[in-house]
Structure 1
Amino acid sequence: MASAKSASSGASEESKVVVAENGKMVDVQDKEITMEGLCSISSYDQWTRLAASGPLPKPRYKHAAAVVQEKMYVFGGNYNGRYLGDMQVLDFKSLSWSKLEVKSQSEPSELTGTTSLAPCAGHGLIPWGNKILCLAGHTREPTENLSVKVFDPQTCTWSTLRTYGRSPISRGGQSVTLVGDTLVVFGGEADGRSLLNDLHILDLETMTWDEFETTGTLPSPRSEHAAACHADRYLLIFGGGSHSTCFNDLHLLDMQTMEWSRPQHQGITPEPRAGHAGVTVGENWFITGGGNNKKGVSETLVLNMSTFAWSVVTGLEGRAPPTSEGSSLVLHKVNGEDFLVSFGGYSGRYSNEVYALKSSQKSNLRSGQINEPETNGLASVSMEANSSRGVIFEIEELQDEKVIKRADTSKTLLQAVTGEKNKIQEKLNQEELQSSRLKQELANAETKNVELTKDLDLVRNQLSAEEARASQLESEISELQQRLQKMEALEKESELLRLEKDADSDDSSSGSNQRPGDRGFWRWNG
């Protein structure tokens, strides 16, 4: 896996960047490709360098990017061992860079509070409506738990979302994947360089964290891996690295059964890698960049998530972002075409270049492929309409009747949809009310839990004091028992001496030479 420790020495090296153009490799230092926009890219499945205008961002890697309303937002990253905290924006329409001046929020809402986001790297950015969520990442002064930040491009403000439940510990290099209405956080590297393979899920409707128990064989602890969602049900994990090795394994988690499995892949076998980037186009998962203990990976791969078949899309020599470690990769659609956009990364030197690839892979369901049976029927009739004028009139009458029927059907469907929408809205309001009540109950329970914890600590302290006192009493009792045993021994000895004394006294009193009134030794001594 490529290391940032060699970045300071490699940053000064100037090497040629080569891109694929019409199947040939072209040195972009000798020939710069000037682009008016993504639409000017004509070739499919080839990386093309974009010459964007405006002040270029500082080169970086391990940053994050997200697309909101025709713009790519790039936040944070690492450059020469220093964390970055700037927000850079690439406008896809004008293909120009600009830097946003982030402001503080003057009136925080009930759910959010004003915050200043510390410079970080190894975090994740997720589009959330017209806003952007930011999770995790390494910082200079790490916090104990992971917090969720939200950026509003309209007001240029960062805020902290109020979440419930037990937040995951802080980390960087994890994966953050949007699965339905939830965010799934997996793995990463915690403070102290400990690797993780835990799974945490944030419900974006209730803003509640949950840590689910899973079955099957978990992926080994790792960071700098890639993750994707398939069919709003399956979470895929590919690659990543530990402190000593990189992986090329593929793991699948069924979010309904919470069971891990290792699908049998087809096609090529990917090289082990970490620090790569991924993005999905329909059922195809594109993987770019990354590196291992031996080298960087230059091929762009695609995995069909239905068949688990790996294949190579294209290759790119040199040190361009799509071959780098820690580059960002986003998807942007223009006129029905899918474009992969790569920015930044590290491959011996830090990059601030932008590359784009127009994908020939399409989603299985396309609006242009959906045909209506009625339209096909009318078309087949119209092919025979040249024979007579009467047939044409019949076709026109048939079309009018079907238009009327469609209008009536559309009106009925609209009424039904409106009624269903009202029911759903009413149910949604009830659910929001119930959610608000549950949140309040949860807050009360947490407060009560804090009080009970304090009481429990007090009782534990008292119990410890009583245990110490009991131990002291046991020691004193043991000492008293020893004294009592000594006293009993002395009493027995005294009794024996008394008996001997009485015996001697009797012998003395019966002697023939005993003088009257003579008491003997013991009596005198007594």
Structure 2
Amino acid sequence: MAAAKGPMPLESAIPNTIASEESKAVVAKNGKTNDIQDKEVSMEGLCYISAYDQWTPLSVSGQLPKPRYKHGAAVVQQKMYIFGGNHNGRYLGDIQVLDFKSLLWSKLEAKSQSGLSESAETVSVAACAGHSLIPWGNKILSLTGHTRDPTESLSVKEFDPRTCTWSTLRTYGRSPSSRGGQSVTLVGNTLIVFGGEGAGRTLLNDLHILDLETMTWDEFETTGTLPSPRSEHAAACYAERYLLIFGGGSHSTCFSDLHLLDTHVMEWSRPEQQGIIPEPRAGHAGVTIGENWFITGGGNNTKGVSDTLVLNMSTYVWSIVTSIEGRNPPTSEGSSLVLHTIGGEDFLVSFGGYSGRYSNEVYALKPSLKPSLRPSGPAQQINEPETNGIAPISVGATSSRKAIFEIEELQDEKGSSRAKISKTLVQAVKGERNQVEDGLYQERLQKLRLKQELADVEDRNVELAKELDLVQDQLSAEGVRASKLENDISELQQRLQKMNALEYEFESLHREMDAASEEAASSSNQPPRGGGFWRWNG
């Protein structure tokens, strides 16, 4: 059957079968309740997602969990268990379950027992965030992260889904200090704990190994260059021997580096990354399918990361699976990512996260990459530490399911006549298909580059527009100021004219006063008439 192309409607993930006219079902689609009449909803889980490499929101029913991030997720017997997390700065301690067959959410009322006691009572397990959930058989191990009342050492708890019971496991040896945001990776029968953020926001890069058979902690000495202290990174195991560490963050920056630890000789190395060099990120999530390591979500100091990446762990070649716009869980920080396989098909399932808002949505992606059938031994896959962990690039190491499906469809159509086609022709078809896919891949890269350049240009235009608005505002302010100065000058000129007129009037009055004074003085110098000298000598 050929792979479906193009976007798939949301409803196609949930097939409906017609029942009696009286039947009626209510389905909650991401929190919105819809009435469906004259149909019986038969939710067959993830099987009906037909599009590859495309994140699809799942229609789920039941009471939705509280939105959260930095929670833990694990899959046991076709059910996804969600524990803890952070919502608005508050730690959560509930256990939520999503049944992948019915896509029904339910909340568990967990019991807790300590030591070897048979009694158990319903109590609230210590709320936490930044912890790690690891499926182990039919049970789930939880390595505590950040809690309201932190302990001195990292505790290990076990949850039994069958009895819905928590128990604290007794460990031996020197336990790691309490922390959150660490990576916990299952390698064989051991758990490898690396890094995280400890008490007082201290960033760590220590390595601890827990033997699950003896429940004994060991702290190993390593050689090579250790990764710098970090938290909120991702870790993966390859070939039951190699531990890979990618990304993470400190208090001031995020990383995009890749580190490799050979657990047989306990030596660190820095593989040379090939292909698309990923952006720095922290708070991302990852799962492995064969030799492919899928990375989703996370963010850095400037933005959230929207692309879903895949690393071929045998060649260290990065490629982009898909990009998703908006604030969906696959682009969120602190979202969980699990792997579920149905009928031979692999599905990535993302839940929750934070990207400006807390989420409780569920998204699924069916990857087109097929697990490699090559031998998984380290000699064929990864170079030894003497070569600094740099492996040769294997061209065409991964193939597309779409090409294989189209060839199989062609075989079905031709029937018996297809058997007569030579192997050379089949190889030619595959070769042409690989060339087409390579071309599409390059076009995709070019599109992403152009998209990034366009975004940069748009950002620059926005900055220039802001600068132009600022200059215009300054010019407007200067214009207002100039107009005010002109008015002030006009007013001063008017006052000056009035002062000149008053000065002229003052001078006129002064001249008149001087003339009057002279006239008065001249009149006072004339001889008096009658009497005086003339009277005595007349």
2:240 maps to 1:232: yes
Pick one of 16, 22, 41 that aligns with 2:6: 22
Q: Is 1:306 the equivalent of 2:290?
A: no
Which string of whole-angstrom CA distances, capped at 9 and with x for unpartnered residues, describes residues 489-515 of structure 1? xxxxxxxxxxxxxxxxxxxxxxxxxxx
Counterparts of 2:374 and 2:106, CA distance in 1: 35
2:64 is equivalent to residue 64 of structure 1: no
Counterpart residue number, 1:283: 291
Letter in 2 for 1:152: D
1:222-301 matches, cutoff 5 A: 222-301=230-309
- 2:369 corresponds in structure 1 to 361
Residue of structure 1 aligned with 2:91, choices 83, 88, 94:
83
Match of 2:134 in 1: 126
2:177 to 144, 148, 169: 169
Partner Cα distance (1:295, 1:353) in 2? 21
Partner of 1:209: 217
Question: Secondary structure of 1:322's match?
Answer: helix
The whole-number CA distance in structure 1 between the counterparts of 2:208 and 2:95 is: 27
- Between the aligned partners of 2:127 and 2:231, the Cα distance in structure 1 is 20
Following TM superposition, by how much is the alpha carbon of 1:117 offset from its aligned partner in structure 2, in angstroms? 2.8
User: CA offsets, 1:298-336, max 9 Å, x none?
Assistant: 000000000000000001111110000000000000000
Distance in 2, Cα, partners of 1:231 & 1:114: 41
3-state SS, counterpart of residue 307 of structure 1: coil
Separation (CA, whole Å) in 1 of partners of 2:114 and 2:208: 32
Q: Which amino acid aligns with 1:327?
A: S
Mapped contact 1:245–1:292 kept (Cα < 8 A)? yes
Deviation at 1:360, TM superposition (A): 1.2
TM-score, length of structure 1 as denominator length: 0.63
Aligned to 2:228: 220
- 2:266, 2:193 → 1: CA distance? 14
What's the offset of the Cα at 1:22?
A: 1.9
Contact 2:112/2:125 (8 A) holds in 1 = no
Letter in 2 for 1:230: Y
SS of 1:275's equivalent?
strand
TM-score by length of 2: 0.61
> Distance in 2 between the 1:287 and 1:23 partners?
22
User: Could you list the per-position Cα deviations for residues 441-486 of structure 1 after superposition, in whole angstroms to 9, with x for gaps in the alignment?
Assistant: xxxxxxxxxxxxxxxxxxxxxxxxxxxxxxxxxxxxxxxxxxxxxx
CA contact (8 A) 1:21 1:48 kept: no
Bigger RCO of structures 1 and 2 (CA < 8 A, at least 6 apart): 1
Q: Which runs of 5+ in 1 are unaligned?
A: 1-19, 370-382, 385-526
CA contact (8 A) 2:93 2:124 kept: no
Query: CA offset at residue 215 of structure 1?
Result: 0.2
Could you list the structure 1 runs, at least 4 aligned residues long, displaced by more than 6 angstroms after superposition.
31-35, 112-115
Q: Percent identity?
A: 79
SS at match of 1:209: strand
Cα deviation for residue 245 of structure 1 reads 0.2
* Counterpart residue identity of residue 228, structure 1: A
Count how many residue pairs are aligned between Structure 1 and Structure 2: 349
How far apart are residue 58 of structure 1 and its match?
0.1
Give the letter aligned to residue 204 of structure 1.
Answer: L
Equivalent residues of 1:114, 1:158 under 8 A apart: no
Q: What secondary structure is seen at the aligned counterpart in 1 of 2:147?
A: coil
Report the AA paired with residue 22 of structure 1. G
Q: In structure 2, which of residues 188, 192, 195 is the aligned counterpart of residue 184 of structure 1?
A: 192
Please provide the CA RMSD for this pair.
3.0
Q: 2:343 aligns to what?
A: 335
- Which residue of 2 is the match for residue 99 of structure 1? 107
| Deviation at residue 191 of structure 1 after TM alignment | 1.3
Q: Structure 2: give runs of 5+ residues left out of the alignment.
A: 11-28, 35-40, 376-403, 405-418, 421-538
